Structure 1
Amino acid sequence: MKKQIIIALAISISAFSFAQKKELKAVEKAIKGNNYAEAKSALKQAESLMSAMDEKTKAQYYFLNAQALYAGGAGSMADIDAAIESLGKVEGAYVAESSELKQTMVNSILTKGNDLYEKQDFSTSSKYFEKAYRLSEQDTTFLYYAAVTAVNVEEYDRALTLYEELKKVGYTGIEKQFYATNKETGEEDILDKTARDLYVRSGTHTNPGERLTESKKPEIVKNVALIYVTQGDNEKAIAAIKDAKAESPDDVNLILSEANIYYKMGNNEEFKKLLEKATQMDPNNAELQYNLGVLSAESGDAESAKKYYSKTIELNPDYVNAYINMSAVVLEKEQSIIEEMNNLGTSSADNKKYDELVEVRKGVYKEAIPYLEKALVLDSKNVSAASTLMNIYSILGDTAKQKEMKDKLDSINTEN
């Protein structure tokens, strides 16, 4: 009796094995014919036999399951996620086939991600970049792309998760670049080492060299901190910046990032302090000088504001807003003059003083005019400059220039 049971059991196992192979062969046939729906149906049948599968057959099942879900690139986002999970279960047998499928998927997913990025569908492209990383986790640049594109569409929670993962894996984005000067264009070409060496030997390029790119860590830390600010978690924002500064205390970009965070928090005093520090480190940065001018003007320090705006113009003579803001600082002196004029009486002394103040007021206007005119030269459609000049010329009694500015303003408004 015992012998009969053993024989019956052996027959049962053999039948299971035959059924497994039959179902998986049906899956393979369906996939080869691009009939992925049929392949998924056959896989459902095979899944019920999973408990009886040996390790090799399980590996085959997971590999085929990933192929069916990916569907030659036609699978949905959820299908791709499931395919990635299935490939993660392939062990032993079918590892080589699995690696080949992964590479095919990575290439296809990156192409889709890039196409969507070009179409400015940053949300979807970010998800494709992340999936490329999940398939090829040694390529951490894909994860960086996913995080950056998520920020573009203000998907801050997801971006923060991706950035934190980048920090965890120690991503810096530093790469070795190989370059050489193209003789025909005179410009520097970035190439892989083999191509660069070949071009140099063939004589089309000269001056070969190599260098390391800048670290993306300051940018990552800045974005993490700004996300925390957006979420109202200022303490975490400052902590993120301070951690980065501990590693790179002389990185001016980190100092600017910290300044930007304090500005977002409304702490103008700390913002200004950090900008001044950054300006000492980068004295030829016109943007820094301009921002310090804005802060000085807002705090009522007109002389400092003028000093910073003058420096901005010296560094960048085409900085339109520096001219506009300089004229505004100059014209602020008008208010105290008007107040003094209005408080005067009718005595001869007061009348004399009034006439003196009229001339002082005209002097203020004349000081502001060159800045406004220059702004209008640089930006011919600047409504603020044209409008202010029209009012100034009216007060100065220069009717010809007043009309010129009025016509200019009418033309701008008509075009808009």
Structure 2
Amino acid sequence: MKSILLGTLVLTASVAFSQTSNLRKAKASYDKFTQVKSMGTPELGANDLNTAREALEKAIEHEKTKDLAETWTYYALVNADLALLDSTDASDGYIKKAVEAREKAISLDTDKQNEQNLSVLNSILAQRELNSGVKAWDSQDFQAAYQAFNNGLTYLPGDTTLLYYSGLAAVNAQQYDKALEKYVELVPVDSFSNNRQIILDVSRLYLMEGDTSNAIKYAELGVQKYPNDKELATQNIELNLMAGNEQGVISAINDQVAKDPDNKNLHYYLGIAYSATNDVENAEAAYRKALEIDPNYLDANINLGGLILNKGIDHFNKTNNANLSQSEYDAEIKKAYDIFDQALPYLEKAVEIDSKSVLALSNLKKYYEIKENKAKVDELDQRIDALQ
């Protein structure tokens, strides 16, 4: 993962005639500070940092140094480090000066002699925004956290730490469009340690935004990049089922079933896909497999009971419309009712598992309507009405 690292300051030589005592003094003092800072104890260099600041305040007023990119670069560096050290409200003032000095330095540095030191400055300014963002996050102010992390990207565009944190803060602030903006930038970064999760989150965020097409696009990308990841595979399957792509997703579900045969949800999804393509036999087998793994799987009981019930209705209707002898007709009607009775255990089980499921109650009611059991139909009507 690319992270925010405070770089090593490069002390560039300057033309002798442009070096005044204040600029030299500031550079020497700042050099002492950075040496202490590199050892992890920047507080011990506070006096040197303030000495550098005082000298630079004179240098930016001096005729020979006020228009030097180097002067403004160091003035920005010093104020940025002061902002990191200061935990009071004065820190904001230092940052303001640092940002303004940075812009001045960039405009003056036409020959790019200060480019490396400006890069160090960017890291310091980004670090300060990162610190501010973490503080806001800890106080549950996710909007302020997002703003700080996003500000950090001004100085370190594409930094994966800041992209991830700003996206995460935006999610918690329920600003999903901003979260997507950051996370999408991380998708191509294979080296990012949470790349798999980012792709999954991007797919989910698009779904939350009502963009099923992009949700599927990123789920499919995730499956391509991480073919053995169960969560991404499931996301891809669920989204395609939601979008009505049952035929196209059957192969993908079967692939996952082969890898995870005891996953009841995969068999259930396979049942949905087969059912949508009118492959009743395979749909029934898939639902039965899901219930073999978990007999109390509510949705599988509902779907299997409904599937068998519809199969019986279809058989009944075909028989009624056929030119059959009475004996043939009676035999076929008996088959239809036998099919209805095969559905009953699953219809009853669904109601047993969830007595408040209107769908489960309605399916059971349909069975008793077919059986012309008025007492049961009235009872189920009352139960359904009580829930609506």
TM range (shorter): 0.5 to 0.7
User: Is the 1:148–1:159 contact (alpha carbons within 8 Å) kept by the matching residues of 2?
Assistant: no
Q: 1:263 to 1:397 in 2, by over 3 A?
A: closer
Deviations 1:260-318 (A, max 9, x none): 67557754333111111111111121111111110011111112111111121222333
Q: 1:384 to 1:158 in 2, by over 3 A?
A: closer
The TM-score, its normalising length taken from structure 2, stands at 0.60
User: Is the 2:270–2:283 contact (alpha carbons within 8 Å) kept by the matching residues of 1?
Assistant: yes
TM-superposed deviation, 1:393: 1.9
Match for residue 159 of structure 1?
180
Distance 2:269 2:313 in 1: 24
- How do 1:13-412 and structure 2 match up within 5 A? 51-52=66-67, 55=70, 59-60=74-75, 64=79, 72=89, 105-113=129-137, 115-116=139-140, 126-131=146-151, 140-141=160-161, 143-148=163-168, 150=170, 153=174, 155-156=176-177, 159-165=180-186, 167-168=188-189, 170-172=191-193, 216-223=194-201, 230=211, 240-241=221-222, 245=225, 248-256=226-234, 259=237, 267-343=245-321, 349-350=325-326, 352-412=327-387
Unmatched tracts of structure 1, length 5 or more: 1-12, 15-42, 173-215
Deviations 1:168-213 (A, max 9, x none): 48211xxxxxxxxxxxxxxxxxxxxxxxxxxxxxxxxxxxxxxxxx
Q: How many residues align?
A: 318
User: Is the 2:183–2:198 contact (alpha carbons within 8 Å) kept by the matching residues of 1?
Assistant: no
Q: 1:73 to 1:363 in 2, by over 3 A?
A: farther
The TM-score, its normalising length taken from structure 1, stands at 0.57
- What's the secondary structure of 2:285's corresponding residue? helix
User: Is the 1:218–1:253 contact (alpha carbons within 8 Å) kept by the matching residues of 2?
Assistant: no
Distance 2:94 2:167 in 1: 19
- What's the secondary structure of 1:284's corresponding residue? coil
Unmatched tracts of structure 2, length 5 or more: 1-19, 22-56, 106-113
Match for residue 18 of structure 1?
none
Match for residue 19 of structure 1?
none
TM-superposed deviation, 1:395: 3.1
Q: 1:337 to 1:311 in 2, by over 3 A?
A: closer
Match for residue 49 of structure 2?
none
Distance 1:239 1:373 in 2: 38
Say what the alpha-carbon RMSD is for the aligned residues.
Answer: 5.3
User: Is the 1:147–1:162 contact (alpha carbons within 8 Å) kept by the matching residues of 2?
Assistant: yes
- What's the secondary structure of 1:300's corresponding residue? coil
User: Is the 2:170–2:179 contact (alpha carbons within 8 Å) kept by the matching residues of 1?
Assistant: yes
Normalized per residue, the structure richer in strand is: 1
Q: 1:320 to 1:400 in 2, by over 3 A?
A: same
Q: 1:382 to 1:52 in 2, by over 3 A?
A: same
TM-superposed deviation, 1:409: 1.2
Higher relative contact order (CA 8 A, sep 6+): 2
- What's the secondary structure of 2:289's corresponding residue? helix
- What's the secondary structure of 1:381's corresponding residue? coil
What is the identity percentage for the equivalent residue pairs of Structure 1 and Structure 2?
A: 23
TM-superposed deviation, 1:365: 2.5
